[in-house]
Amino acid sequence: MKTGIIDYGAGNLRSVANAVHSLGIEPRIIDSPDGFDDVTHLILPGVGAFGDSMAELERRGLADPIRRWIADDRPFFGICVGYQLLFDGGDENPGVAGLGVFKGQVVRFPADGRKIPHMGWNAANPADASDPLWQGLGDAPFFYFVHSYYPVPDDPSLVAMETEYEGLRFASAIRRGRLLATQFHPEKSQQAGLRLLGNFLQ
């Protein structure tokens, strides 16, 4: 197993690398198109703005290799902005196209009294508790969130976990084939997050 972590200037890259390292795996940092060779698992982390992140992926020549990786159904884990970038575009930077792997938009929490960003620990409810990825996590594990935007997939069958924030339910994770993407940060979610990362890497 060789795990690659995409480096496009995302602020939490080192935290993700440290989490993977704590599971006994030495990750490879990928910052150019030729870094994908021999990698078996790919993680796309993210902290920051949608538009800036997408621009940096394009500038470093990483966007198309990521699209091809996902199209080949190879193990992929998108985290926070790395989850949002999988969709067509969104409210944060209108007119900026995402990776377009899935149809849907990334929308902002409504400004109707709830605190924005959604920050802190919250439960994520699996759509299919028998999925091996959720093994050992229980019925509603708690993970750490910090975000103002969240994806709304056109295809509801993608939704693998849902989270409620002050009366609004959103897709906190999606799953298709060997792809998993989460709005929460497993690398900041202590034992639950490490267990989920470990399940993915296995």
Domain that holds residue 15: 3-201
- pLDDT score recorded for residue 69: 98
- pLDDT score recorded for residue 50: 94
Angle at alpha carbon of residue 28, lines to 7 and 73, rounded to 5°: 80
- pLDDT score recorded for residue 88: 98
Q: Is 21 a catalytic residue?
A: no
pTM of structure: 0.96
Low-confidence ranges of the chain (pLDDT < 50): none
Q: Is 185 a catalytic residue?
A: yes
Write the pLDDT tens digit of every residue in 38-66: 999 999 998 889 999 999 999 999 999 99
- Give me the number of domains the chain comprises: 1
- pLDDT score recorded for residue 9: 86
Among residues 41, 118, 147, 185, which one is catalytic?
185
The continuous run of DSSP H or E covering 134 comes out as none
CATH number of the domain residue 26 falls in = 3.40.50.880
Locate the DSSP E strands across the chain: 3-6, 28-30, 41-44, 76-79, 89-90, 104-108, 118-123, 125-126, 142-147, 149-153, 159-165, 168-176, 179-182
- pLDDT score recorded for residue 12: 81
- pLDDT score recorded for residue 39: 96
The one-letter code for the residue type at 50 is: F
Please state, in angstroms and as integers, the Cα–Cα distance from residue 46 to each residue in 61, 84, 131, following that order: 17, 9, 25
- pLDDT score recorded for residue 48: 86
Q: Is 41 a catalytic residue?
A: no
Question: Tokens 């377009």, residue?
Answer: 100
- pLDDT score recorded for residue 23: 96
- pLDDT score recorded for residue 75: 98
Distance CA 19, CA 186 (A): 9
Of 27, 26, 24, 32, nearest to 4 by C-alpha is 27
Among residues 41, 80, 118, 147, which one is catalytic?
80
